[in-house]
Amino acid sequence: MIQAEKFDSPFKGRSLLTWLDYEPEEILQFLDYAFLVKKQAHAGEVHQRFLGKTIALIFEKRSTRTRSSFETAFGEEGGHPVFMSTQDIQLGGKESVKDTARVLGRMFSAIEFRGFKQEHVKQLAEFSGVPVINGLTDDYHPTQALADIMTLKENFGKLKGLKWAFCGDGRNNVARSLMIISAKLGIDFAIYSPKELFPPKDIQEICAPIAAKSGAKIEISSEISVVKNADCLYTDVWVSMGEESLKEERTKLLSPYQVNKDLMAATGKSSTIFMHCLPAVIGQEVTEDVFESPASKVWDEAENRKHTIKAIMLALI
Ligand code: CP
Ligand code: NVA
């Protein structure tokens, strides 16, 4: 009998729907796994830790980085990833999420879901009986947040004592996930955005006591002074997937919040880095000079998607 290499973790069988479900020290454990698998990958080590395993990759929305990360990370470790767009499978057509979950749970070792409703990724976890990983919903993008934390740590050698500022659509999935992970890990986090696009009250209220415990300072403001002292300015598209009809309104609202040279200078630090989850719309949320500058860490950040996603899968599956 051929056996897969073992990867020990206390998280086997759990799902990752949002980092709210994990304790700070658990998140740091995932981060350690990510640094380990990145080191192994860069050393050219070949491992077969998913041998005999399968993962269903369900995508209701488009993806380059997330799909590529899941597919290559799982496949190169001997596993068999199966990409399923909702154009091809019954989900979203005549079959419910609950029934889809019960079928996939009989055939796959794990499920990744990228789509609209957080409720759907929850139902998949509830009814499939296998680990489910949220590859982005309207509400959260937890795998992105871990890659971003990894990129911060690589650049500054620490997390505590840092401050980063998300500039733009403060209510979107990425902003919320960064707020959660910052609150958990004690990293100061600012949202610089128009009032209309502040994160919803419920998520602010959930994060407040978590931040109080970790010592993270969370600030949400339309004043530029909120980016003062930021070690990193972070932005994302002004119009997320599924919101294309709001393009004009968002452009009007968000133009003053563009990350450009002046905004980078407003941190008051020459060491401030720039991050973006990508894909980017150059000339909208960020100017080309900032995006292409030495301060921009977007390609390291994109690469870290793969290492963190491999780490998450190794930990859970
Ligand atoms: N950042 C991110 O999730 O990219 P994709 O949409 O290409 O997966
Ligand atoms: N907020 C963006 C993130 C893309 C990775 C979206 O949901 O489209």
**Domain containing 80: what range?**
24-141+303-316
- pLDDT tens-place string over residues 187-230: 999 999 999 999 999 999 999 999 999 999 999 999 999 999 99
Same domain, 267 and 167: yes
Same domain, 160 and 269: yes
Instruction: Return the DSSP state at 5.
Output: P
Query: Has residue 17 been placed in a domain?
Result: no
For the chain, the average pLDDT equals: 97
- Spatial CB neighbours of 133, under 8 Å, sequence gap ≥ 6: 15, 16, 110, 111, 112, 113, 143, 309, 312, 313, 316
- pLDDT tens-place string over residues 154-185: 999 999 999 999 999 999 999 999 999 999 99
- pLDDT tens-place string over residues 61-119: 999 999 999 999 999 999 999 999 988 888 878 899 999 999 999 999 999 999 999 99
Count of the separate structural domains present in the chain:
2
Ligand 2 centroid to Cα of residue 236, in Å, is: 7
Query: Has residue 1 been placed in a domain?
Result: no
Instruction: Select which of 120, 236, 258, 307 is catalytic.
Output: 236
Active site residue 102: no
- Ligand 2 is surrounded, with C-beta below 6 A, by 136, 172-174, 236-237, 240-241, 277
Give Cα separations from 84 to 2, 35, 56, 92, 231 (angstroms): 28, 29, 7, 12, 39
**Which residue has the CA at smallest separation from atom 2 of ligand 2?**
240
Return the SS3 of 295. Answer: coil
Query: Has residue 249 been placed in a domain?
Result: yes
Same domain, 193 and 288: yes
200 is in an annotated binding site: no
Active site residue 305: yes
Q: What is the CATH number of the domain that holds 199?
A: 3.40.50.1370
